[in-house]
Structure 1
Amino acid sequence: MDFVTIGKNYYCGYRMELCVRNDAGALAEKAANEYFKIIYIESETLHIALNKNFYILTGANVICLNEQDQISFKEEPKDNIMILFFKPFVINNKFCSESFYNQEKLSLSERQDLEFLNQFQHNCSDSLKIRQLYTSIASVIKQKFELLSQQLVLQNSSYWPCRSRSYLLELLFVLNRFEEESPVLVPQQQKLKYTKLTEELIDYLQTCYNQKFTIESLAKMFHTNRTTLLKEFKQSTGQSITNYVIEFRIFVAASLLRNTELAVSEICERTGFHDMSYFSRVFKKKIKLTPSKYRNLIKNNTCQ
């Protein structure tokens, strides 16, 4: 069978190459070889073979596979597994197989969006495809899987394709973490090595960017004090924690503005700003345009 969601309540018959399955057997279906896959799995101990290499996984893990990757399990997991099947053009209709592996015809913003799919490239090592998750990050990723699955099943508004795409984007934000370095976004692993505290804090901030927190609550969470937290983060990244989070939220918001038709107010909430006037002000300060004007500019450039 195809891994497609069919429109029912809205856009009847519309085919979206995106679905969530809860059985490992789906990976063995012939059509699965045409899709990218994100696998979320929880297990005490799990033996897998990925591209003829063998691994033992424990706890919560995410595995990212392209259409050529081959995975098998020594014993098929029956519980706590969710598999997201999608094709790259669900994110952007220019992300066909030709542009995915040859980016010359893509705009700068489109190439930035394509960076979210780095771990699906054919030359990506297995070590970047498998990611063991901290408990706090695992719960966020699991929730996003569940929200996406519910949206695809319920289709309870005309925005269901848009919201489904936005949940996919949010998953990719978390799985392929980026750090802003003007004017181009570069993968975090290419940056200078951070201290363990800073690395763990960045993992948390880039996963839970839409949640409210204080410096005191972060210090308590990471078993340190406010002074050490602020000093170590600033020394490692060159930024304050507050500025880092704001810039990352803007980065996420800009991608949602480019790739979805969600209302600006919903994007404001989803990215953790919660106040439209503040969101517009900081977005314009960073991007030099209001969110609405930025979206219109991208649309106009795409149509040309």
Structure 2
Amino acid sequence: MNNFEIPILFDEKIFYEFNNSDRFLSLSYNKIAGSKRMFVPHFHTFYEVYYLKEGSANYLIEGELLSVKAGDVLLIKPYLLHKTLYPDSSKNVRYLISFNEAYFNYLPEDDISWFLQIFRQSCPIIRLDTDTKRKWDQKLQIIKMEAKEKRSGYNFRIHSIMQELFLTINDKDNSKPIINQNLTTTEQKILEVIGYIHSHYEEKLTLQLLAERFYISSYYLSHRFKYITGYTLIEYIQLIRIKKAQELLETTKLRTIDICENCGFGSISQFNRVFKKVCGISPGKYRRTIK
């Protein structure tokens, strides 16, 4: 396992999976009791809808720590670094809905863009009202039953229900994000450092430079950063840069050398080495595999 592989942290209960050529949809369900946290933030190349049915949690999204409660839906777009933290003495029930853009390939391009625009809004949280939350709970339970019984036509019925759920969140206004207030001064400082890295990843970033900028000792920054994120500072910076490089390799025709420079790497050899360490393959091979 390399330094950046994401461990399986919770025993995911996947109750429905659909894979057809390049289209996929996955639904999972989990009960999480007590204090749990993902060891490290992670990102993926598909869309994810996180629905908290019961309980409360904190969600770390690229340097911002948001408070979520039962009935909240979080919209996680591709390449968004995120991590969930569950508080002590808390019983949580949550669903994850994962899908790629190709899942909607049967629709006109304008309709796909119309739906996916909700993932590009500034706030990732949709707070369901009581009636809508009840509908979500009922429809997700029906999907679980259909997936278990596998009666004739069950895939058709499940996908129809999913369209209904997607429409409910597209019709809702995004809530103003609730920033977690129960943070120590040091924790808040670390979050500021994380946010700065996300917006300045293309610049020269070192432990010493960041410590001086945020008026914190390099020793304390190093140790508290690792505790909160699960990564050393350098590992995290490299992860952010590689995350952006993957996105550029997938969505642009930029040359590898240009992507290397745009993402803050000092040399093409360093870029190739770190990319292979994180992704397991070279940038060139990665680009070829996603075409």
TM-score normalized by structure 1? 0.40
More helix by share: 1
Higher relative contact order (CA 8 A, sep 6+): 2
TM-score normalized by structure 2? 0.41
